[in-house]
Amino acid sequence: MDTEDETKKTHQTSLNKTMISIIIPVYKTAATLDRCVDSIATQEDVDYEIILVDDSSPDDCPAICDRRAAADKRIRVVHKPNGGLSSARNAGIDAAHGDILMFIDSDDYIEPGTLHDLSLVAEEHPEYDIIEFPVCRETADGEQIMLTFENNEYRNMNEYWLSCRAYNHAYAWNKMYRRRLFDDIRYPDGMIFEDMHILPRLLRKAKMIATTCVGLYHYCWNSEGISNNADGKAWRSLLKPHLRMLKKTRCDSVEWANYYMQVLNIQIYTCQLTGDKPQLPTIRQNIISVDKNFRLKALLLDIMGVNILCRANRLLRSVVRHKQHK
């Protein structure tokens, strides 16, 4: 029996309901990888494994991964040909032994006590299929933006999507997932904003979704990050699942109206980058009922409709760029 088989047998023997497999895709993050792993390896009173998926990183990451695995039996490494973030996450899912999965990006980290507190929630509530926890977004200029939650339960996907505004934080990270949700689901290879394509599918399989006030995920701005360098093709890909969800969740509510306005923003930016004809239908909203930051755009929508609004924005941006280059 080889080392991998022995490791898997050991894990399967000791597996319990709160054993967590933490999947970390690794690519060109040598400067932050140790910080990420340290934030997990110092967590106490919790059963977990760390799976470092080296996506053929050209820097020191492969060596760092091997060094960390040699020093800690809870850490395993998967070295694979370069295939992108989705491919790396899928490799981690395939290698995972735990009943609960988590994803952490290698340029991010988690707060001390996070795994312990979340594992208690998962253990006390085996009916929770997805548990979402708070995020601290650390921007390029050092500002910290908090995304917090109350302790809530959702049996209805639409309620979670709209009232919790899950569409604004449809990240793979900052969540715990029951392993069974991924039995027939994998991230789409070669796609940016892949989280948005997968989360709705996971939500449809989940019997109960919960948000919690415990734990904290630190998201750190990375100028080289994939989503921060997304092009028109990527934004077109992001728009598509939002249009599907907008149709599936449609109802006469303020929450849906705000979601529509958020998708309108995505549609406008997609048209700006690609020149595509808008796909979002014009559905005029009550200007007073939507969030304050949407009201001007809701007024313009009422006057112009989606098509003209997108064309006007593209023309305005073109004029601004022309003046900047003079």
For the chain, what is the HEC assignment?
Answer: CCHHHHHHHHHHHHCCCCCEEEEEEECCCCCCHHHHHHHHHCCCCCCEEEEEEECCCCCCHHHHHHHHHHHCCCEEEEECCCCCHHHHHHHHHHHCCCCEEEECCCCCEECCCHHHHHHHHHHHCCCCCEEECCEEEECCCCCEEEECCCCEEECCHHHHHHHCCHHHCCCCCCEEEEHHHHCCCCCCCCCCCHHHHHHHHHHHHCCCEEECCCCCEEEECCCCCCHHHCCHHHHHHHHHHHHHHHHHCCCCCHHHHHHHHHHHHHHHHHHHHHCCCCCCCCCCCCCCCCCHHHHHHHHHHHHHHHHHHHHHHHHHHHHHHHHHCC
- On whether the CB atoms of residues 91 and 11 are closer than 8 A, the answer is no
Whether residues 118 and 176 share a domain: the answer is: yes
Residue 313 has pLDDT above 90, yes or no: yes
Q: For 166-188, what is the mean pLDDT? A: 97
Whether residues 188 and 261 share a domain: the answer is: no
Q: How confident is the model at residue 246 (pLDDT cuts 50, 70, 90)?
A: very high
Of the three residues 228, 261, 279, the one that is the final residue of a domain is 228
Q: For 37-56, what is the mean pLDDT? A: 96
Of the three residues 176, 194, 228, the one that is the final residue of a domain is 228
Q: What angle separates helix 254-274 from helix 295-324, to the nearest 10 degrees?
A: 20
pTM of structure? 0.90
Residue 29 has pLDDT above 90, yes or no: yes
- On whether the CB atoms of residues 274 and 232 are closer than 8 A, the answer is yes
Give the model's pLDDT for residue 209: 98
Give the model's pLDDT for residue 277: 96
Q: What is the pLDDT of residues 138-171, one digit of tens each?
A: 988 889 999 999 999 999 999 999 999 999 999 9
Percentage of the chain lying above the pLDDT 90 cut: 86
Whether residues 146 and 28 share a domain: the answer is: yes
Whether residues 55 and 158 share a domain: the answer is: yes
**The 3-state secondary structure of 91-151, one letter per residue:** HHHHHCCCCEEEECCCCCEECCCHHHHHHHHHHHCCCCCEEECCEEEECCCCCEEEECCCC
List the Cα angle 268/290/221 in 5-degree steps. Answer: 55
Give the model's pLDDT for residue 322: 63
Q: For 7-36, what is the mean pLDDT? A: 76
Whether residues 120 and 248 share a domain: the answer is: no
Give the model's pLDDT for residue 314: 92
Residue 183 has pLDDT above 80, yes or no: yes
Q: What is the pLDDT of residues 137-147, one digit of tens each?
A: 998 888 999 99
Give the model's pLDDT for residue 12: 43
Q: For 94-112, what is the mean pLDDT? A: 97
CA distance 232 to 6: 47
Whether residues 34 and 54 share a domain: the answer is: yes
Residue 11 has pLDDT above 60, yes or no: no
Whether residues 234 and 195 share a domain: the answer is: no
Whether residues 90 and 212 share a domain: the answer is: yes
Residue 6 has pLDDT above 60, yes or no: no
Q: How confident is the model at residue 225 (pLDDT cuts 50, 70, 90)?
A: low
Whether residues 217 and 275 share a domain: the answer is: no
Q: Based on the structure, what is the number of domains in the chain?
A: 2
Range of the domain at 239: 230-324
Mean pLDDT across the chain, nearest whole number? 92
Residue 212 has pLDDT above 70, yes or no: yes
Q: For 5-22, what is the mean pLDDT? A: 58
Whether residues 160 and 267 share a domain: the answer is: no
Give the domain CATH number at 56: 3.90.550.10
Whether residues 199 and 273 share a domain: the answer is: no
Give the model's pLDDT for residue 191: 86
